[in-house]
Amino acid sequence: MPLRFSTVVAATCLVAVCIFRTAAADQDAKSWQAGAAAVKITPDGPAWMAGYASRTEPSIGVELDLFAKTLVVRDSMGETVVLVTLDLISVPGPLRQHVEKSLAESRKLKPENLVMNCSHTHCGPEIRTTGTALDGLDPDRRAMAIAYVETLQQRILSCIDQAFAKLAPAKLSFQKARAAFAMNRRLPSPTGYQNSPNPDGRVDHDVPVLRVEDAEGTITAVVFGYACHNTTLGFQKLCGDYAGFAQQAVEEAHPGTVALFMMGCGGDQNPYPRRTLDLAKQHGRTLATAVEAALSTPKREIAGRLSVAFGTAKLDYAEAQSKEQLQEQQKSTNKYDARYAERLLKELEAGTLLTSYPAPVSVVRFGDAVLFVALPGETVVDYSLRIKRENRKADGPEVWVAGYSNDVFAYIPSLRVLLEGGYEAGGAMRYMTTVVQPGPFAPNVEDRLLERVEQLIQDSQPVK
């Protein structure tokens, strides 16, 4: 009898376990919904290009089409995140604001539900969204720039609509690998920091991957990150550079999948070697291979809820130059220095010279498995290294830090880079067009940005 009793109990337990597992699997399949889409955003004809101020003519042909891509993820309670990636130089603040406003009106979404990231390809069209950015252009170029932004806005919204239309039960998981073609590009020299490969400089070689599968286990979307400028190329053809080729390779390897590239904190990172199309393709293959390697590692499955937070960090600028100093600089034989001084004087006289900038930060938690932080601007690698170091805990979530998100208005140096000086520390400010940058940031820039990040990480703690 005892034997029979325990057999009955064991059999009952097995049935109970089976029922429990089935219910859990059903719950997993029901708990996430995901939808992904891609829309071509290659300009229809020749376009003035962004990335190098020295270009003197519009694009000649297309090497690789440019895309806007969207992944919408929704949890079991309806919380939503819309990830938009762009094969473009920038996400100007006004472009994000346009998309944000449209999503608020059409879908009642809040700013924290939207993350926009750009690959920072230097072979895409210019994106001029403000009067400041259009100032001084000849009428043809101005008209082309305005028309492109209108088309771009429509195509991004269409891409988002298509992704929402594809929402279906999904399984999410996180995987990662590494790729090593990014190298620090700040080389110390007797005359200051040069833009040259520095094999001893800091890098972030992580390739984080968000894997999205349908209920049958087929991959439908892959989001992958890397911290490196898309500057293999500087030619006159439109092209997504290594990130474009990497996305193409991942999509070819997984037919029907949308591959989205999420730029990391690569403000001070370049791909090396560079300057030929073959090298751009090679770096793309290297990154795609790292994505495949990640996909072959054990999956960290993502369960639970989404939690989103969004806010701005007030970044102070250092004290601006005086009127007299700017008038002197205006006489410079360097045309970029002279033009920058002229723009600053105009702002000074109008009383509109900025003293701080509201820099947006997004935080998204995917269950208890992934803590995703999206930083604004051309953030340098110190930021992702520090945020990961300070937030990765044993048995805690994986930490994924993107840069180039939501408003790419200027380089954002760490305190170290700011004090070292050079291009990313403030030298590049003269080339920024969407908003006239008054000069370098103040030394509290890293503290200000990371205080906001930490606050949002706390705000996004899941409700128990």
Pick 112 or 378: Cβ nearer Zn ion? 378
Smallest gap from Cβ 378 to Zn ion, in A, equals 5
Smallest gap from Cβ 411 to Zn ion, in A, equals 7
Pick 378 or 446: Cβ nearer Zn ion? 378
Smallest gap from Cβ 408 to Zn ion, in A, equals 9
Residue 248 belongs to what H/E stretch?
Answer: helix 241-253
Pick 223 or 380: Cβ nearer Zn ion? 380
Residue nearest to Zn ion (CB): 378
Beta strands in 343-397 (DSSP E): 356-366, 370-374, 378-379
Q: Can you tell me the distance from the alpha carbon of 95 to that of 363, in angstroms, rounded to the nearest whole number?
A: 20
Smallest gap from Cβ 32 to Zn ion, in A, equals 34
User: What is the four-CA torsion angle of 374, 380, 386, 392, rounded to 10 degrees?
Assistant: 40
Q: Can you tell me the distance from the alpha carbon of 220 to that of 258, in angstroms, rounded to the nearest whole number?
A: 6
Smallest gap from Cβ 403 to Zn ion, in A, equals 10
Vertex 101 angle, CA 100 and 103, to 5°? 65
Query: Following DSSP, what letter does each residue of 431-460 receive, concatenated?
Result: G--SS---SSBPTTHHHHHHHHHHHHHHHT
- Extract the tokens encoding 112: 């924290």
Count the Cβ atoms, other than its own, within 10 Å of residue 107: 14
Pick 265 or 370: Cβ nearer Zn ion? 265
- The one-letter amino acid code at 294 reads A
CA 166 from centre of chain: 23
The strand pair at 206-214 and 370-374 is best described as unpaired
3-state helix, strand, coil in the chain (%, to 5): 35, 30, 35
- In the complex, the residues that contact Zn ion under the rule CB under 5 A are 378
Pick 126 or 378: Cβ nearer Zn ion? 378
Pick 172 or 265: Cβ nearer Zn ion? 265
Beta bridge partners of 83: 71, 115
Smallest gap from Cβ 120 to Zn ion, in A, equals 6
Pick 206 or 378: Cβ nearer Zn ion? 378
Pick 100 or 378: Cβ nearer Zn ion? 378
Smallest gap from Cβ 102 to Zn ion, in A, equals 28
Q: Can you tell me the distance from the alpha carbon of 308 to that of 362, in angstroms, rounded to the nearest whole number?
A: 8
